Structure 1
Amino acid sequence: MSAIKIQKPKITDELTPTNTLDMEETYFNLFEISNCSVIGEEVHRIRFEQVVFKNVRFIDVNFKNIELTDVIFEKCDLSNANFSDAIIHRVEFRDSKTLGMNLSDATIHNTLFEECHANLTSFGYSKMKQVQFKNCSIRNADFYESNFTKVAFDDCDLNETSFSGTSLKGIDLRTCMFSQLMVDVENLRGCIVTPDQAIGFAGLLGLVVE
């Protein structure tokens, strides 16, 4: 299990509960938003600070350049949401669905994805520092040319995920499941794997293991 230390969201107990979002605003602070849907909204550079989302569905949402600081998503559905170019700091995604979510070109620091359905999520060109994926399904996700600093994958399904152009030096995949990854041979140097996983990578090197 990862020894990476991630700063938790700093959230006060005094949050204002609501089940609606006034999308004429672009800054939300000190809210607990629950049991609602955000549908068809397109707002660039929207900001959420010290906000908890519970059981919120984001449908056809384009929040390019979103800024999230000290935020928790719990049992939320963010499938296909566009959060590209996001700035994300001290955020937790818990038991949430990010299927097909666009987090490309995002800056993601001190963030936890736990028990999330993150298949087909796009993290291409993202910059990640102190990020943990824990008990997540991340099949067919895309980490193309991402930059990893202290990133952990613990007990995740990574089958057919793409790490093309991304260095896996120091990344420990021993607790993860996959039969195939898309990764460049030169970027495997320093990746930590089990003997069985190493045999799977042998094909990338043109080796025949008998």
Structure 2
Amino acid sequence: MKNFIKVFVITSGLLLTGLSQAAIITFNDRAAFETYVGASTTDDLNTNLSGSGLDLSNADYSWTMSDYACADSAGCSSSGNPFINGNNDWVWTYSSGVFNFNFNITAFGLDYGHPNGATQGNVGLFGFDSGTNANGSFFGVATDDGTFLGSSISYAQNTSFQAFDNVIYSSNPNGQFEVASAPGVLGLFGISLLIICRLRKAK
């Protein structure tokens, strides 16, 4: 009986550990992402961008990659603005890199495109790929239980040139909490353990 209880406790512990690990959800729809995340901040990049520069930064975050700031598409217009709204300032990138935040976040996303003669592209964030979509499409990642992604988000460029705009991020404990069943499992575990102990005493 002692061995059985030990096995039961270890197995249940492993199960609960697995349940407590956050999964990453990816989004190709900005509206769905915003609904899921709740409170968030969007940086349309229409301030603090001017001309050529590396490692551009904003109040909450910075990024490290080879880039060019296309302020009002200046210096970039010959290739066309890859973003649907065309309003605007955006960033042309020449390499993969990292977005670095001053705090931990639970969700991150951006609009992306191919700025040099193509009408579609794809991007990687946090090790996940968007798939190939039309220029100006959205891609985002978020945890499924409101835990943190961390303070750094990797940006993977899949072509020689890429572009991004309208960066959105959140530190809100977001989502539908798919792991909310964990407390229920804890309850079942406790009840089962009590039953085993009572059976043991009865013998």
Tell me the TM-score normalised to structure 2 length: 0.25
Q: Higher helix proportion, which one?
A: 2
Tell me the TM-score normalised to structure 1 length: 0.24
Q: Which has the higher contact order (CA 8 A, sep 6+)?
A: 2
